[in-house]
Amino acid sequence: MLLVSYISENKQEVIQGLEKRYIENAAEIIEEVLNLDEDRRRFQKERDDALADANKSAKEIGMLMKSGKKEEAEKAKTSASENKQKAKDLSSKVSEIENELKDKLYHIPNVPHPSVPLGKTDEENVEMYKKGDIPTLPEGAKPHWDLIEQYDIIDFELGNKVSGAGFPFYKGKGARMQRALISFFLDEAVTAGYLEVQPPIVINEASGYGTGQLPDKEGQMYFMEADNLYMIPTAEVPITNMFRGDLLQENELPKKMAGHTPCFRREAGSWGAHVRGLNRLHQFDKVEIVEIQKPEDSADAHERMVKHVEMLLEKLGLPYRRLLLCSGDLSVNANLCFDLEVFSAAQDRWLEVSSISNFGNYQANRLKLRYRDNHKKTQLLHTLNGSALALPRVLAAILENNQTEKGILVPEVLQKYTGFDIID
C-alpha cells in the first residue's frame, strides 16, 4: 500500500496516478486519507499529553503527602486518574482511526510509473516488439484441444469427473512434458542466480494481505473456511511472504528466489475459444521468479527479469511479443508491468504466458519489509515478480506450432528431460 507520507508529499501526483487508473473520486479518496491521518496525529498528541499530565500528577502525589498537603494530594490523584482514563479513551480512538485509515489504504492501488500508457483495457496495451518466426503449419493442422485427444496426453473429461471443469489430467507423454518444462524452467532460474525454493501452496490471511491478494481478490481464490486458509493463486505469494516483517541488511541484498507450485484460480471461464482447452484453467503449474531489491536497483532488475523470461521462450523456439501494460490493465500492486505472449499458430492468436511486474515499495509497505543501509538508515525495499513460466499456454503453443504429419516435435532443450523427441 502507499505510504501516507508519500501521499502527503506528492498529493497531486498520487491523484493523477489514480485518475490514470480510472479511479472515480480519486481526489476525494486522497482527502479522506489525509484527513484521517491528521485526526490520528491530533488524537495521538492529545493522548500523549494526557499521559504526560497523568505521570506528572502521579509524581507529585508522594511529595504532597510528605509535605502534609493531603487535600492537594487527593486532587493530584484525581487528576492522574482522569488523565489516565482520558489517555485510554484516546488510545481507543487512535486505534479506531488507524484501522479505518489502513482499510482505505488497502483499497488504493499503486501509482503507475510515468512510462505506463493511458488505457482502459488490455486492447490498449502497447506492443514493444516481436521476436521469432510464425510457423507455417501443415494442411489440416489442429488446435491443441484436438491434438491432446488425438495423442491421448491430456484428459479433460476425466478431470471433470474427478474434480470439475478446469482440472485436467496429464497422461503419459503429456505428464512428462509437464515435468520437463518445470525442470527446464527451474534449472534455467538456478543458472541465472535464483535460489530454488518449494513453498507451501496454502497461505494464511496475513500473507494474503501482505502481497495484496486481500482485500482485492477474495473471489478469485479458493478458501478453506474451516482453517481460514487460501489456496495460492501464484507462488509469488508464499515466496514474497518469506520476508514479511523482516529487517534485512544491505549486504544481504538482493534476494532472488524461484519456485514451482500448482496455482489455483476460481475465475477461469468456461465459454468461447479463448478459454478452451489449456487456455484457461482452475489449476495449473507455474515457475515463479521473485526478487527483493534496493530501490535504486529495481528498474535494472525488472529489465533483467524480462530478458530472462524471453530467453526461455527463445530456447523453446516460440515466437513471442513484449507488451507494456496500459494503466487500466495494471494489477493493483504493480506500478509497471510487461506481458510476454506467445503465438499459438493453430488458434492464430497471441497467448499471454508471463507478466513481469515491479511493485516499487507498495508490497513492501504492506509486508513491513525493510533494510538497513550502510549508513544505518532504514527504508522500505522494492519487490518484483514474474512468471518464468506458466505451463498451460506454453504447452498449447508447443503442441500447435510443432505439429507435423508424423507427430508433434519436442523442442530440443526439453528432450534431455522427456527422453523422447516426438509425441506420436
Q: Round to whole Å and give the CA distance between 179 and 420.
A: 13
CB 17 within 8 A of CB 111: yes
Cα distances (angstroms) measured from residue 148 to each of 50, 58, 140:
73, 81, 15
Alpha carbon distances (Å) from 102 to 3, 395, 420: 10, 42, 55
For 385, phi then psi, to 5°, come to -155, 160
Q: How far apart (Å, rounded) are the C-alpha atoms in residues 391 and 98? A: 42
Q: Give kind and range of the element (H or E) at residue 98.
A: helix 70-106
| 234 carries a ligand binding annotation | yes
Q: How far apart are CA 207 and CA 210, in angstroms?
A: 5
Is 354 labeled as ligand-binding?
A: yes
The cell for 167 is 482440472
40 is in an annotated binding site: no
Specify whether the CB–CB gap between 261 and 192 falls below 8 A.
Answer: no
Any binding-site annotation on 385?
yes
Residue 287 annotated as lining a ligand binding site: no
In sequence order, the β-bridge partners of residue 236 are none
- Furthest-apart CA pair in the chain: how many Å? 109
Residue 271 is given by DSSP the state S
Asked if 153 contacts 423 with a C-beta cutoff of 8 angstroms, the reply is yes
Query: How far apart (Å, rounded) are the C-alpha atoms in residues 385 and 190?
Result: 15
C-alpha cell at 296: 535504486
Distances from the Cα of 372 to the Cα of 82, 279, 300, 392, angstroms: 42, 44, 21, 41
207 is in an annotated binding site: no
Distance CA 2, CA 407 (A): 53
5 belongs to an annotated ligand binding site: no
Q: What are the CA-CA distances from residue 68 to residues 61, 72, 73, 226 (Å)?
A: 11, 9, 9, 64
Would the annotation count 288 as a binding residue? yes
Binding site residue list for L-serine = 234, 265, 288, 385
Binding site residue list = 234, 265-267, 288, 352-355, 385
Binding site residue list for ATP = 265-267, 352-355
